[in-house]
Amino acid sequence: MARIVETPPVPDRRFDIAGYDAIDTAALETFPYEYPGRDVAVDIETDEFTAVCPWSGLPDFGTVKIRYLPGGKILELRSLKYYLLSYRNVGIYQEHAVTRMLDDLVTTVEPKWMEISLDYKIRGGIHTVCRVRYPHLENA
């Protein structure tokens, strides 16, 4: 006959998380676009984005895609990498993260147009992609 062993309940596990103030907007840099009369679409993609769930502190992993038409500035990619890395311990929902990115990048780059999508790895069998656009995304 199998013996049932009672184990003590596992305490709620939660990891420490950082607040939004850990997002390093000062890391973002630009350089002048030398052909302001000619539009060039800039596409940037990285699958190395990570933040944490504000409830559990467990990591979320995702792909960030940025597309924009520069005004007078180009986003410097090394600075973008440092900026995105600053989200690593921030407790933030996916929808809020992508919106915060758009606000920060539009403020820094001053593009004619910008779109950002954040595609999180599947959790709990649900796949979610969030997309925001400047100027405002109409009838997505």
Q: Looking at 53, 104, 119, 130, which residue is catalytic?
A: 53
- Tell whether 114 is covered by a domain: yes
- Tell whether 85 is covered by a domain: yes
Range of the domain at 65: 29-134
Tell me the CATH number at 48: 3.30.1130.10
To the question of whether residue 77 is assigned a binding role by annotation, the answer is yes
Q: Select from 34, 31, 47, 38 the least CA-distant residue to 69.
A: 38
- Mean pLDDT score, 5-31: 86
Mean pLDDT taken over the chain: 92
Q: Is 80 exceeded by the pLDDT of residue 47?
A: yes
- Tell whether 124 is covered by a domain: yes
Q: Is 70 exceeded by the pLDDT of residue 126?
A: yes
To the question of whether residue 110 is assigned a binding role by annotation, the answer is no
Q: Catalytic: 60?
A: yes
State percent of the chain over pLDDT 90: 79
pLDDT digits (tens, 9 = 90+) for 88-102: 999 999 999 999 999
User: What is the number of structural domains in the chain?
Assistant: 1
Q: Residue 140: its pLDDT value, please?
A: 52
- Considering the entire predicted model, what is its pTM? 0.87
To the question of whether residue 34 is assigned a binding role by annotation, the answer is no
Q: Residue 57: its pLDDT value, please?
A: 86
Q: Looking at 60, 103, 119, 130, which residue is catalytic?
A: 60
Distance between CA atoms of residues 101 and 23, nearest Å? 10
Residue 97 CB coordination number (10 Å): 24
Q: Is 60 exceeded by the pLDDT of residue 122?
A: yes
